[in-house]
Amino acid sequence: MQSNLPFRRGLVLLASLSMVLSACGRAPTGPALAPLAAAGEPVLNEVYFDAPGTDTGTFIELKGPAGKSLSGYSLAAFDTAGTQYRTITLSGNIPASGYYVLAQDSTVPGRTMIAAGADLNNGSGSLRLLRSGAVVDALAYGSPSAGRGEGSPAPTTGAGKALARVPDGQDTGANSADFKVQAATPGTANGGGTGGGTGKKVLFDLTKAEDAGNADWRIDGAYSDYAGALRGLGYTVASVTGSAITSTNLSGASVLVIPEPQNPFSDSERAAIQAFVQGGGGLFLITDHRTSDRNNNGWDSPEVFNGWDGSTPASVGSTFQKSLDTDTLFGLGASFNSSFSDPVYTATPATSHPILNGVSSAGVYVGTSVDVRAGTALMGAGGKTYLAVNSVGVGRVAMWGDSSTFGDNTYSDGSTGQYNNWPNLSNAALGKNVVRWLAGDL
């Protein structure tokens, strides 16, 4: 932002004159704009305009004061030659989160308004935020022959990535400096901003056969997009490998994610994980339905989390019978009363919580419900809870009932998962918000 008020007023007058000429059929000419977004005005914060394949789920995100009315505001899109090809009239107010998401369609999480015109030109172009015809903020991306942005253009993205201000909301007056290519984050903070990971380590467990059978919950497999989204927020993402979780391999981590484990935890592993949480770590437990035994050893993920149920396998050594014992240690248990016959649910928020910012619903495909012995139920359906959280010691725990929700459903061998009918939530608010809350960033 600039503080030279006479200079800024002159710019605003020039911008207004430019819009008048454009309205008379003459495209704006002259140099790219200097920063125009004044205090209290929204800015163009993120654009996702090039989805893989046929564009769906694209969006334009504004960041501004919560509750601000957008009456009189509009968006003007320009092609690479600087010719305006679209105008979108905005309506409503900026939500309490501070993010206003103009979505192409209903697949975009955290959306505030839907308009097909939110699908901008791929490759190169420009976008301006207007108020009563005057330019409030502007973005040029790629290599337009006539840019309509601020300073030099931001890079283009390529399919599947968004262009976002990093740090979140920053406006130096140069699009090339303010905008970075990252995973899409509609309705939530961009990478490197307040609430970003700032290098904190998120570990995904791979010691309990999380890639057995038709599962592939690896950060280089079906969870690769989830890991990429977290990296886009500034986190360091890695796997815990080997045969056991120890205090040593948890050292320095902020969050441990355990997705659909297939082998039980020993007494020493349980003690290490308990100490990690009580000492301030975040634990994300992702389960699946009963009888989801991927490696045919008699253990499914609800049993691994809650302890041996006394059925199969025929005998279990005493050091493994409790397994993780999450309901006792952390107040959250994967329900033994859910079964493979559970129908498909759409879980919806049951209360208000930072994790639910920008979250309207999430698909649960034959998952398991969560028994909440202590803590807070966040999302549910059909009288059951599917996402719950709790604070333990100085750490935090979250449990979600379906492993498929956070993956891209493409396994590391190139095959496609059976749940690809569900929207991919790895780049949506839910998956990222859980980790951000567990890490103390939300």
- Write the CATH number for 81: 2.60.40.1260
CB 271: neighbour CB atoms within 10 A? 14
What local confidence, expressed as pLDDT, does residue 441 receive?
78
Do 261 and 369 belong to one domain?
A: yes
Identify the pLDDT of residue 362.
Answer: 80
| Neighbour tally for 394: CB within 10 Å | 11
Q: Is residue 27 part of a domain?
A: yes
What is the Cα 156 distance to its own chain's centre? 21
Residue 195 lies in a domain: no
Is there a domain that residue 261 lies in? yes
Q: Does 274 lie in the same domain as 215?
A: yes
Q: Say whether both 270 and 405 belong to one domain.
A: yes
Asked whether residue 196 is assigned to any structural domain, the reply reads no
Q: Coil, strand or helix: which one is 428?
A: coil
Last residue of some domain: 124, 149, 182? Answer: 182
Alpha helices in 279-428 (DSSP H): 301-306, 318-321, 326-330
In a domain, 221, yes or no: yes
Identity of the residue numbered 73: Y
Looking at the structure, tell me whether residues 60 and 155 fall in a common domain: yes
- φ and ψ of 230, to 5 deg: -70, -40
Q: Residue 190 falls within a domain, yes or no?
A: no
Residues 6+ apart with CB under 8 A from 39: 1
Enter the DSSP assignment of 105: S
Residue 203 pairs in a beta bridge with 238, 256
Same domain, 135 and 261: no
Would you say residue 60 lies in a domain?
yes
Are 283 and 155 members of one domain?
Answer: no
Is residue 192 one of the residues assigned to a domain? Answer: no
| Tally of domains within the chain | 2
Q: What's the CA gap between 89 and 267, in Å, rounded?
A: 60
Structure tokens, 107: 């697949």
Range of the domain at 230: 201-438
pLDDT for position 121: 93
* Tokens matching residue 215: 């599962």
Q: Cα separations (Å) of 230 from 54, 70, 189, 202? A: 25, 31, 11, 8
**Which distant-in-sequence residues (6+ apart) come within 8 Å of 42 by Cβ?**
62, 63, 64, 65, 68, 70, 73, 94, 100, 129, 136, 137
Q: What is the pLDDT tens value at each position of the chain, 442 positions in all?
A: 333 333 333 333 333 323 332 333 333 333 334 344 566 899 999 999 998 878 889 999 999 998 999 999 999 999 999 999 999 999 999 988 889 999 999 888 889 999 999 999 998 999 999 999 999 999 999 999 999 999 999 988 878 888 998 877 778 888 988 898 887 888 888 864 444 556 789 999 999 999 999 888 998 888 887 887 788 777 899 999 999 999 999 999 999 999 999 999 999 999 999 999 999 999 999 999 888 999 999 999 999 999 999 887 888 999 999 999 999 999 999 998 866 656 667 888 999 888 887 777 887 878 899 999 999 999 998 889 999 999 998 899 999 998 876 665 444 444 444 333 333 343 357 888 899 889 887 7
Residue 209, pLDDT score: 97
Single-letter code of the amino acid located at 108? V
Same domain for 11 and 123, yes or no, is yes
Residue by residue, DSSP assigns 40-89 as T--EEEEEE---SSS--S-EEEEE--TT-B-TTEEEEEE-TTS-EEEEEE
For residues 146 and 274, state if they share a domain: no
Strands ordered across the beta sheet of 73-78: 84-89, 73-78, 125-131, 134-141
